[in-house]
Structure 1
Amino acid sequence: MKLYSNINIIFTVWLASLLLISYLGFSTLPHSGKFSNDFLSSFSNWDGGHFLAIAQKGYQENFQYAFFPFYPMVIKTLTQFTNNFLLSGVLISLLSFYFGLQILYKLIILDFDKKIALKIIAALAFFPTSFYFLTAYSEGLFFLLVVLTFYFLRTNKLFLATIFAVLVSGTRLAGLAVVLALILEVQLTRGINKKNWFVLFSPLGFLAYVWFLYNQTSDPFYFLTAERYWQRELVVPIFGFWDTIKNVTTPNFLTSHFNPVLDLLFAIFGLGLAIRSFRFLPISYSVYAFVSIALPLFTPTLSSIPRFLLPIFPIFILLGLIKSQFLNLFYPVITLMLLSIFTVLFFNGFWVA
């Protein structure tokens, strides 16, 4: 695979900056006290610890079934060579992000010039929650599998697209948005026929997890039950927005409800761009973006949406197409500031997304 030097520079600057910011913040600023005071351990704060626990011992607690299995499986496999679960988790994230950027660049230049492509790559790399690509979270692997699926879809290599769609559907529930986009694109542009019928097997990763849950718990959709431990039971989408708006209207929202405010702003930002994508991008991109944003809106809380936006590459394509000089200056200033703050908060044990 051809590697692009400009992307290497962006990735190197991103990695060096986040390592420096996270270490300086960890060394000099207060911690939450919820996790170890070891800097290296902070790479698995919050959900990262659950991914590592599943990789080590399997599903030991009911709430862990909310985490899909493919990322822990890859961690466990790599650990046979590294002998360190945390190192494996972080390496998978970093390598996935690096190669994901390379594939995304190749995907973008199918439609746009190289200057716009690099602008899109930079918009993603320095998004306020991009530090998750540096941690033991599934974001990096999921991102790589998503862009591989779409790249092979766009280059008419449907068998490879299907293989990566199978893997992505076993990595996160949002992988079903990729599956839907793939099947819809094939149906609309070629029609499902005897030459491409295998795309219908793209949700096989999800179905394998459903079968596993049935054997373990007698409930094939137990991951939905497990989501309740994380305040993610199904509700009408407006409820999450309404609860957050109520928090915003309280007198002390900046101190006691700051996270929900950010969640609301990021949700509006992502949903707006996803809807706008139907005017400017291929239908498969727009369907993927819209369904990915819509899924977390069916829960009582908008928590984690700033992180969920990371793998939704179509919204970053739209950001790269912005021509306003003011917005092109304003966006980097705001995102770099938020990225620095969020990185320090996460590594110091505070909840971000």
Structure 2
Amino acid sequence: MKTVKYIFTLFIIWRVCLFFVAFSSNYLIPQFGARFPYYNTALEPTGLPNWIWGFGNFDGVHYLRLAQEGYIAKFSQSFFPVYPLLIKFFNFLPKDPAIDTRTFVDPSYFYTGLILSNLFFLGFLVFFYKLLKLDYSEKIARLSLILVLVFPTSFYFGSIYTESLFLMLAAASVYYFRTKKYILAGILAAVASATRIVGIFIPVIFLIEMFMNRKNIKVKELASQAVGLLLAPLGLIVYMYYLNRNFGDFLLFLNSQPGFGAGRSSQAYILLPQVIFRYIKMFLTVKFNGKSRFSSFLECSFGIYFYSDPLILVSSLFQKNQTELSMV
């Protein structure tokens, strides 16, 4: 009970801080420039201030439209189905009869999506804690939760995005696989693979766990593990079947990406050194005013933070179960 209270308290503090930062941004950042589609048809109808509906912007508006109308819009198939389906399924809120749903998204979808995303993230924190406790002390588990919450991009977990749902499913599937509930783990991994494309890599974690415990596996247990492994990619397979049946393209979720700018580079591949060189060049050659200089230093610090993570992974690669935690 103490642990649940601790996790819930951390979550509430984090959520309040996010709203405070969003509210403060109205006074610290120039006026919103309306540079992403559908904000006026999917977010403004909520009647909420922008520091609240801002947690549904960019990809969020596409998930809201999918929840209301399905895969009607061109290129919308690049967004995986589980998250918008859950918003639609759990949307028990009353609808606004004055809303023309041919143009606008009913506000109830926003409210449902925001509530679900935060509940999913709370679920992730619980499973992440339980997963850590299998190998580490209470102190390390609690500190890890704090580090997740203070991570610079943790605001995505409280937004209308798939991140919180995917992380909850991934953490839960690995936890149940490690506690020998292999079929349940496979089912959760299958749902994760229909939530985000990276869910297809969760079985790799299962294989690593099987390899590390290969000497203690019995035949019956091995059969259950095999079932869990076979279940894991089914979510993606089912989505690919749906795409082919309805749109004639198994890989439409990939082929739709250029519609959102994913194919805007003239090169087939961009290597990490090229990215680093480009940012160094911009940092050294662009004329700065006060705000842009601050933003550049901020991006630079985030970059150092981000690219140091692989070094941490490599240095601890040979510790027990480090690979599972890193991939989650």
Question: What TM-score do the two structures reach when normalised by structure 1?
Answer: 0.73
The within-5 A match list for 1:269-308 is 269-282=308-321, 284-285=323-324, 289=327
- Partners of 2:183 and 2:224 within 8 A in 1: no
Q: Residue 52 of structure 1 is aligned with which of 39, 64, 77?
A: 64
TM superposition shift of 1:3: 5.2
The within-5 A match list for 1:1-353 is 4-26=4-26, 29-34=29-34, 35=39, 38-39=49-50, 40-81=52-93, 83=95, 84-186=108-210, 189-190=213-214, 193-199=222-228, 200-233=230-263, 238-250=270-282, 251-252=285-286, 255=292, 258=296, 264-265=303-304, 267-282=306-321, 284-285=323-324, 289=327, 312=328
TM superposition shift of 1:5: 2.0
- Partners of 2:182 and 2:224 within 8 A in 1: no
- Partners of 1:244 and 1:260 within 8 A in 2: no
Q: Percent identity?
A: 26
CA distance in 2, matches of 1:196, 1:155: 12
TM superposition shift of 1:33: 1.6
CA distance in 1, matches of 2:157, 2:147: 14
Q: Secondary structure at the match of 2:110?
A: helix
Letter in 2 for 1:195: S
TM superposition shift of 1:222: 1.4
Q: Per the alignment, do residues 51 and 276 of structure 1 end up closer, same or farther by CA in structure 2, a change over 3 Å counting?
A: farther
Q: What is the CA deviation profile of residues 294-319 of structure 1, one whole-angstrom value per residue up to 9, with x for unaligned ones?
A: xxxxxxxxxxxxxxxxxx4xxxxxxx
- Partners of 2:193 and 2:234 within 8 A in 1: yes
* Structure with the greater alpha carbon radius of gyration: 2
Q: Secondary structure at the match of 2:32?
A: coil
TM superposition shift of 1:143: 1.1
CA distance in 1, matches of 2:116, 2:309: 26
CA distance in 2, matches of 1:225, 1:46: 20
- Partners of 1:169 and 1:179 within 8 A in 2: no
Q: Per the alignment, do residues 248 and 28 of structure 1 end up closer, same or farther by CA in structure 2, a change over 3 Å counting?
A: closer
Q: Secondary structure at the match of 1:32?
A: coil
TM superposition shift of 1:6: 1.8
TM superposition shift of 1:64: 1.8
Question: What TM-score do the two structures reach when normalised by structure 2?
Answer: 0.78
TM superposition shift of 1:262: 6.7
CA distance in 1, matches of 2:175, 2:287: 43
Q: Per the alignment, do residues 90 and 253 of structure 1 end up closer, same or farther by CA in structure 2, a change over 3 Å counting?
A: farther
Highest RCO, 1 vs 2 (Cα 8 Å, sep ≥ 6):
1
- Partners of 2:178 and 2:209 within 8 A in 1: no
CA distance in 2, matches of 1:80, 1:134: 20
CA distance in 2, matches of 1:4, 1:175: 27
What residue is the counterpart of 1:292 in the other structure? none
Query: Pairwise CA RMSD of aligned residues?
Result: 2.9
Q: What is the CA deviation profile of residues 156-176 of structure 1, one whole-angstrom value per residue up to 9, with x for unaligned ones?
A: 111111111011111001111
- Partners of 1:56 and 1:76 within 8 A in 2: yes
The farther-off stretch of 55-64 and 95-104 is 55-64
- Partners of 1:146 and 1:168 within 8 A in 2: yes
CA distance in 1, matches of 2:94, 2:55: 16
Aligned length: 289
The farther-off stretch of 193-202 and 246-255 is 246-255
- Partners of 1:97 and 1:141 within 8 A in 2: yes
CA distance in 1, matches of 2:29, 2:223: 61
Q: What is the CA deviation profile of residues 22-43 of structure 1, one whole-angstrom value per residue up to 9, with x for unaligned ones?
A: 1232366423321457423212
Unaligned runs of 5+ in 1: 290-311, 313-353
TM superposition shift of 1:81: 4.4
Q: What is the CA deviation profile of residues 73-95 of structure 1, one whole-angstrom value per residue up to 9, with x for unaligned ones?
A: 10111113465101111111111
Q: Per the alignment, do residues 227 and 269 of structure 1 end up closer, same or farther by CA in structure 2, a change over 3 Å counting?
A: farther
Q: Secondary structure at the match of 2:92?
A: helix
CA distance in 2, matches of 1:126, 1:63: 34
The farther-off stretch of 78-87 and 255-264 is 255-264
Q: Per the alignment, do residues 24 and 179 of structure 1 end up closer, same or farther by CA in structure 2, a change over 3 Å counting?
A: same
Q: Secondary structure at the match of 1:79?
A: coil
CA distance in 1, matches of 2:83, 2:109: 12
- Partners of 1:82 and 1:88 within 8 A in 2: no
Letter in 1 for 2:254: L
- Partners of 2:317 and 2:323 within 8 A in 1: no
TM superposition shift of 1:4: 2.1
Letter in 2 for 1:268: Y
Unaligned runs of 5+ in 2: 96-107
Letter in 2 for 1:249: K
Q: Per the alignment, do residues 262 and 178 of structure 1 end up closer, same or farther by CA in structure 2, a change over 3 Å counting?
A: farther
